[in-house]
A = this chain, B = another copy of it.
Amino acid sequence: MPNVASALRGSFVACCSIVVGLGLAGAAPPPAPSPQQIVEQAPATAWRDVPAGDLVVMTLPGGRIVALQLAAGFAPVHAANIRAFVRAGWFDGGAIVRVQDNYVVQWAVKDGDRPPPAGVVATPPAEYDTNATTPPFRPLGYRDAYAGQTGHVAGWPVASDGKARWLTHCYGMVGVGRDNPPDTGNGQELYAVIGHAPRHLDRNIALVGRVLGGIEPMAALPRGGEALGFYGKPEERTEIVSARIAADLPAAGRPAWQVLDTDGPVFAAWVKARANRGDGFFIRAAGALDICNAMPPVRARP
């Protein structure tokens, strides 16, 4: 996690030891732990393992790894389709076909015009929201432009109108490309958000996961020159060398990821600290946090 609290300190200022902050005079109390410190000091019990069957390991040229968690609880049919495409090898030799600035990076299987492999549901249901009431919804507690309520469900950023709940289009969230309705996309073309959250897409597309690691090289790819950021020439695309489900890899050495337990006290402390930053850099704590600035911390399993 970046040390956001000090992230904009100029590198050009010689002295970095001034600690004034918050208008306190005289002996200041010891500073509260920063969000980063809270995460670093979290006990092992504060972390939840990502199931190996929900972890897609995508390899790009140069050995760069993109680790993607499937939101099987929110979009089970789309998640199952993606597993089936991965296991049939359809993403091997696929490519990143589109990068639109402040919006999305998008990738697709190789030769997508073939009849889908066994196990793929050709026309999945519209898994755009759910009326499920479990696992529990933990309210974030701050206003949201788009929904009556936002919060977290089992490690995921979620909005709710009090009846339905749905995943939110935050940075790094992964959705299923589709054409006009009633098509919902079958999972052979996916995108990840790489800009300010396009929340107007919420409940309009099946969000199906989140990039846990390796989004940086994808977000840093050249933007495509065609309409909507598609690349005009095949040679502009970045090849997907392979995609595998972690559970299918040898247990020894396979990638394993963890998400901070969003039902636990460490996450609650992290949210509170992010909403109320108080180190020497900040003049005025926001006293608030929007759902896409509250993406649950993740880490490679130590």
**In the complex, A188 has a CB within 8 A of chain B:** yes
Known contacts being A100-B7, A179-B18, is A288 close to B145, with CB within 8 Å?
Answer: yes
Are B293 and A215 interface neighbours, CB within 8 A?
A: no
What distance in Å separates the Cβ of A120 from its nearest Cβ neighbour in chain B? 13
Are A284 and B203 interface neighbours, CB within 8 A?
A: yes
Known contacts being A3-B228, A202-B286, is A223 close to B220, with CB within 8 Å?
Answer: yes
Complex contacts, A103 vs chain B, CB 8 Å = 2, 4, 7
**In the complex, A197 has a CB within 8 A of chain B:** yes
Are A292 and B4 interface neighbours, CB within 8 A?
A: no
Are A9 and B179 interface neighbours, CB within 8 A?
A: yes
Complex contacts, A182 vs chain B, CB 8 Å = 20
**In the complex, A222 has a CB within 8 A of chain B:** yes
**In the complex, A96 has a CB within 8 A of chain B:** no
Per assembly, the copies of the chain total 2
C-alpha spacing A172/B195, complex, angstroms: 10
Are A15 and B100 interface neighbours, CB within 8 A?
A: no
Q: Per-position contact with B for A88-116: 1 when CB-CB < 8 Å, else 0?
A: 00000000011111111010100011000
What distance in Å separates the Cβ of A58 from its nearest Cβ neighbour in chain B? 17
What distance in Å separates the Cβ of A270 from its nearest Cβ neighbour in chain B? 14
Q: Per-position contact with B for A1-23: 1 when CB-CB < 8 Å, else 0?
A: 01110111111111110111100
Interface residues of A (CB under 8 A from B): 2-4, 6-16, 18-21, 97-104, 106, 108, 112-113, 126, 128, 142-146, 170-172, 175, 177-183, 185, 188-189, 191, 194-205, 215-217, 219-223, 227-230, 274-275, 277, 280-286, 288-293
